[in-house]
Amino acid sequence: MRVLKVDLAVIGFGKGGKTLVGALAKAGRRVVLIEQSDEMYGGTCINIACVPTKALVYQSEHPDRRVGEAAWFEQAAAKKTALVEAMRAKNFEMFDSPETSTVITGRARFAGPHTLLVTAGADELEVHAETIVINTGSAPVVPPIPGVAGSRVLTSTGMLALTERPDELVVLGGGYVGVEFASMHAAFGARVTLIQRGDQLLPGEDPDMAAEVRVLLTDAGVRVVTGATVERVEDAGAGGAVVTYRTGSGETATASGDVVLAALGRRPVTDGLGLAEAGIKVGARGEVVVDEHLRTSLPHVFAIGDVNGGPQFTYISLDDYRIVLDQLTGSGTRSVSDRRHVPHVVFTTPPLARVGMTEAEARATGRPLKIAVRRVAEMAAVPRAKIVGDARGVMKAIVDAETDEVLGVSMLAHDAHETVNTLAVALRLGATASVLRDGIYTHPSMTEAFNDLFANLG
């Protein structure tokens, strides 16, 4: 068996791990990046999540009027695939070309505290590393619903591999993934039914904002069913699949589709890594347990990205990289507690973005509040939305009435995925509601909506 000794071994090609590999390789450290599949070079985001999904969302917003909706989807899928393949190849080149960096394709498991056994078919390689980083990400949850493992039921990964648009789609789950796919496929002309167990879509958001998203989906032609429990999925042969569910009132109903998307959450990927044998603690959800510096129960082993059970965002994985790099080459003081005002986005059309607290979270603090809720179409001094032809949506700001501190902002609006970043930076720097209200912004832009929004607090 071949033996390789390195300074750093990273298991998984995700954002944080590959960036750490790049930084330490540039500094002259001997590093290896271990990825089990040659179709995952670059990580989940590039191959089966953010990039392909948002590429399809963008294409759905820019129809090719020269062809029908089904052909338009096929064109969009081909463009998405070309983009992913190009980025995948570039990632392999970036991290396998440096003299001190090597990409190893194979499955890794711990054979000791500092030792990984990597297998690829009959080939085996033993890697001894001073530092090891677990960066294996997360995978879609497939719940134990009868029939959900059938051929007509796909996870988000399978949906992104489709080259032909389903005429009818049933989405199980009203979280971020389910809502994005429902919105996108409705825009491509599919007949979509979305079934959500709870009474509210996007349960992490304020009920009024979630209700606005529901209206958005309904107006796009999506049939939204909430408060429903899926009982089984049955394969109907060439006719697709039939989902049987029980409504909140106890009635039995069905929904049919060519394809069923199971968008019911994601779980950390730790199976087969040999963590228990190595003495690395794992939590109840399968996540690798880490401290505020992302160290596991073995101080030379870190876990970054989705696998450590934190927020499942690529940009959080990138910040995990900064924390680990600081541990290995810096002062060692940076930690997860340094993160403040981290924004997030649901890529509906228009997108829903939020930074800071929901109204419920703000009220739970006991602080006196001022709240502004403004419909985009009624913001007379914000013509940008009308210029681009999409004045749908609403903005909501929550402010401490005594200190003028901005506690949270939600925006369902054109370009919300960009303007939320401006807000996040402003909040990290301590900008008050008055500062944002009186700010000078370019015109016409969506950012100048802050003038209107923060002038209507009450």
Q: Give the domain CATH number at 432.
A: 3.30.390.30
Whether 144 maps to a domain, the answer reads no
Indicate which CATH number applies to the domain containing 82: 3.50.50.60
217 domain residue, yes or no: yes
Query: Within this chain, do residues 161 and 288 fall inside the same structural domain, yes or no?
Result: no
280 and 132 inside one domain:
yes
Do 353 and 310 lie in one domain? The reply is no
pLDDT of residue 68: 86
Catalytic residue among 114, 341, 414, 443: 443
Q: Provide the pairing of β-strand 394-400 with 369-375.
A: antiparallel
Q: What is the pLDDT of residue 236?
A: 86
State the pLDDT at residue 237. 79
Question: Does 377 share its domain with 334?
Answer: no
123 and 193 assigned to the same domain = no
Indicate whether 107 belongs to any domain. yes
pTM for the full model? 0.96
| 20 and 135 part of one domain | yes
How many separate domains does the chain show?
3
Does one domain contain both 213 and 256? yes
Residues 43 and 168 both lie in one domain: no
What pLDDT is recorded for position 1? 82
278 and 321, same domain (yes or no): yes
Catalytic, 443? Answer: yes
pLDDT in the model for residue 98 = 86
Show which of 338, 369, 385 is a domain's final residue.
338
Answer yes or no: do 307 and 292 share one domain. yes
| 72: in domain | yes
Regions of the chain where pLDDT drops below 70: none
Mean pLDDT of the chain: 96
Q: Provide the domain limits for residue 105.
A: 2-139+267-338
Domain end among 338, 361, 376:
338
Are both 169 and 193 inside the same structural domain? yes
pLDDT digits (tens, 9 = 90+) for 14-34: 999 999 999 999 999 999 999
Q: What is the pLDDT, as a whole number, of residue 313? A: 96
Same domain, 73 and 197: no
Q: Which of 264, 297, 312 is the last residue of a domain?
A: 264
Residue 69: predicted pLDDT? 85
Domain assignment of residue 147, yes or no? no
